[in-house]
């Protein structure tokens, strides 16, 4: 089984010069700081950072697989109702490990997957007009068990199910993933008797993709969830090593922090050269942004820290963003996600005789799309390097559940370690909570009257 590889050659001063690149000596000089950060995070493994142990939750895996096999073939559609960390991983896994046209033609007996992570009425209303209550299973996901977007969607689709299937009949069409005791969603599970799964303690929203939050919908559409966890466990073992050059999560976190704080690059661009990995970059954008973007340092000092995550996809964004990346300000560094081989080889046919004199197409004849794709990718890498832009690569020999599991675990651990380097709490999200509270107040929720008064008297009050 192949290991994903983190290659930082083009981040180094040897490749791009010392104005924008880091030297090996500079990196290795931070070994002691890295060892301390790793020890700090690993020491919390059995306490508040239980997500570190998700790859080993065999009982949870068994219960997910049991449930998936008990409903196998019964539903044509699985619908995830959730948002943020309760949805992005689901989409990322399905894109990475399912066919891009899964919902057009799912494999025999396998359900389609829809992730409704927005309450825009033009999305939800359209879905309501089209969904088939008889053949649809809803997985309602909320760690807090009270997020307004998810709960409103739940009420809407529950009502439609009850109308069509009756009070008793609708219950088999809902499976909930939430906290084991807190939140109104858990209370509803108790009252209605819905099937449910637990988001364990010590597993925050954006660190929850390897819990039932991401695994259940994946298992329901035939993704190899066991392989995902195996990949994550393998990366965990690799990242127990405190030697900086042997530990990809530690190295990634350090490179991110140094390029930002020492080389003035606040923008982190994740650039998968893979259609299948495009939504992994979106998942990482949330993980990085929500974890490290903080007003306060750990000691409570106002610091306004955080890199800005950007996701692009190759080759598409070569014709959109690359001009800026190669010639714009020196405020970005890049992580290319590269892939060795895939499931498909598409051959470009021999150039027709009538075009042979046209060099503009003749050179493409009898080559493969992968050759062209990889040439475009390498071309971008060369252009970035020539323009002295730091660009690392995370290489997947193939995209499998095992390599994707490794990537997820590596990035989760890297972001946790960045919290140590940036000196912020990587595991809270007061900015997100502030928006939730304001929305509750505007909706007239009991208990939020004071916040409503504050908003109404403030100059920013909405009309």
The site for ligand PA5 (CB under 6 A) is made up of 83-86, 142-144, 147, 150, 204-206, 290, 429, 432
Give the whole-angstrom CA distance, residue 404 versus residue 1.
12
DSSP string, 283-340: HHHHHHHHHH-EEE-TTS-EEEE--EEEE--TTGGGGTTHHHHHHS-S-EEEEEEEES
Give the whole-angstrom CA distance, residue 247 versus residue 413.
11
Closer to ligand PA5 by Cβ: residue 289 or 314: 289
Query: Helix 121-130 to helix 148-169 angle, to the nearest 10 degrees?
Result: 20
Closer to ligand PA5 by Cβ: residue 154 or 373: 154
Closer to ligand PA5 by Cβ: residue 211 or 274: 211
Helix (H, G, I), strand (E, B) or coil at 203: coil
Closer to ligand PA5 by Cβ: residue 52 or 399: 52
Alpha-helical (H) ranges within 23-99 are 24-28, 31-42, 58-70, 88-97
Report in angstroms how near the CB of residue 80 gets to ligand PA5 at its nearest: 11
Query: Helix 148-169 to helix 430-442 angle, to the nearest 10 degrees?
Result: 60
Phi (first) and psi of residue 12, to 5 degrees: -85, 150
Q: Which of 341, 270, 343 is nearest to 99 (CA)?
A: 343
Give the whole-angstrom CA distance, residue 225 versus residue 301.
42
Closer to ligand PA5 by Cβ: residue 83 or 232: 83
Report in angstroms how near the CB of residue 64 gets to ligand PA5 at its nearest: 18
Closer to ligand PA5 by Cβ: residue 85 or 272: 85
Report in angstroms how near the CB of residue 216 gets to ligand PA5 at its nearest: 14
Query: Is 130 annotated in the active site?
Result: no
In angstroms, the Cα distances linking 141 to 6, 52, 89, 186, 233 are 33, 20, 12, 11, 24
Q: 122 exposed, middle or buried (CB, 10 Å; 0-12, 13-18, 19+)?
A: exposed
Give the whole-angstrom CA distance, residue 249 versus residue 247.
6
Report in angstroms how near the CB of residue 430 gets to ligand PA5 at its nearest: 11
Closer to ligand PA5 by Cβ: residue 143 or 332: 143
Pairing type for strands 302-305 and 294-296 reads antiparallel
Report in angstroms how near the CB of residue 211 gets to ligand PA5 at its nearest: 11
Query: Is 319 annotated in the active site?
Result: yes
Catalogue the long-range contacts made by 191-199 (C-beta closer than 8 Å, 24 or more residues apart).
Answer: 195/67, 197/60, 197/63, 197/64, 197/67, 198/60, 199/143
Catalytic residue from among 319, 344, 359, 366 = 319
Give the whole-angstrom CA distance, residue 451 versus residue 333.
40
Report in angstroms how near the CB of residue 432 gets to ligand PA5 at its nearest: 5
Q: Residues in the chain, how many? A: 463
Report in angstroms how near the CB of residue 408 gets to ligand PA5 at its nearest: 14
Report in angstroms how near the CB of residue 204 gets to ligand PA5 at its nearest: 5
Give the whole-angstrom CA distance, residue 218 versus residue 370.
28
Catalytic residue from among 242, 298, 436, 451 = 436
Is the separation of the CB atoms in 213 and 283 below 8 Å?
A: no
Catalytic residue from among 290, 332, 402, 420 = 290
Please list the active-site residues: 290, 319, 436
């Amino acid at each position: 089984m192949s290991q994903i590889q983190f290659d930082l050659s083009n981040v180094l001063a040897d490749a791009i010069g010392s104005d924008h690149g880091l030297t090996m000596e500079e990196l290795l000089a931070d070994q002691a700081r890295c060892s301390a950060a790793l020890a700090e995070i690993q020491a919390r493994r059995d306490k508040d950072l239980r997500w570190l142990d998700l790859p080993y939750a065999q009982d949870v895996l068994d219960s997910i697989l049991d449930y998936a096999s008990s409903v196998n073939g019964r539903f044509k559609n699985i619908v995830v109702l959730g948002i943020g960390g309760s949805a992005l991983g689901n989409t990322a896994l399905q894109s990475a490990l399912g066919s891009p046209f899964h919902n057009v033609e799912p494999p025999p007996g396998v359900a389609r997957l829809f992730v409704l992570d927005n309450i825009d009425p033009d999305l939800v209303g359209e879905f309501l007009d089209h969904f088939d209550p008889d053949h649809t299973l809803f997985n309602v996901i909320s760690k807090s068990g009270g997020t307004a977007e998810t709960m409103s969607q739940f009420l809407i689709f529950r009502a439609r199910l009850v109308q069509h299937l009756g009070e008793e009949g609708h219950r088999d069409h809902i499976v909930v993933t939430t906290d084991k005791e807190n939140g109104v969603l858990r209370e509803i599970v108790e009252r209605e008797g819905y099937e449910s799964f637990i988001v364990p303690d010590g597993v925050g929203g954006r660190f929850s993709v390897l819990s039932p939050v991401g695994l259940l919908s994946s298992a329901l559409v035939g993704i190899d969830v066991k392989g995902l966890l195996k990949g994550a466990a393998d990366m965990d073992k690799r990242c127990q090593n405190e030697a900086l050059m042997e530990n990809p999560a530690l190295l990634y976190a350090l490179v991110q922090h140094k390029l930002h704080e020492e080389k003035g690059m606040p923008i982190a661009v994740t650039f998968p050269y893979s259609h299948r990995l495009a939504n992994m970059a979106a998942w990482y954008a949330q993980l990085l942004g929500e974890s490290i973007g903080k007003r306060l340092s750990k000691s409570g000092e106002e610091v306004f820290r955080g890199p800005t995550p950007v996701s692009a996809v190759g080759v598409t964004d070569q014709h959109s963003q690359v001009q800026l990346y190669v010639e714009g300000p020196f405020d970005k560094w890049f992580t290319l996600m590269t892939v060795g081989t895939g499931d498909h080889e598409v051959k470009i046919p021999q150039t027709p005789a009538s075009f042979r004199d046209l060099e503009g197409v003749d050179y493409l004849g009898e080559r493969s799309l992968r050759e062209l794709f990889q040439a475009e990718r390498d071309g971008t890498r060369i252009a970035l390097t020539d323009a002295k832009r730091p660009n690392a690569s995370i290489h997947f020999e193939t995209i499998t559940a095992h390599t994707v599991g490794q990537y997820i675990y590596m990035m989760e651990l890297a972001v946790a370690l960045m919290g140590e380097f940036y000196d912020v709490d990587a595991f809270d999200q007061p900015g997100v909570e502030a928006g939730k509270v304001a929305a509750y107040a505007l909706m007239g929720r009991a208990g939020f009257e004071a916040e409503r008064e504050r908003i109404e008297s403030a100059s920013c009050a909405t009309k």
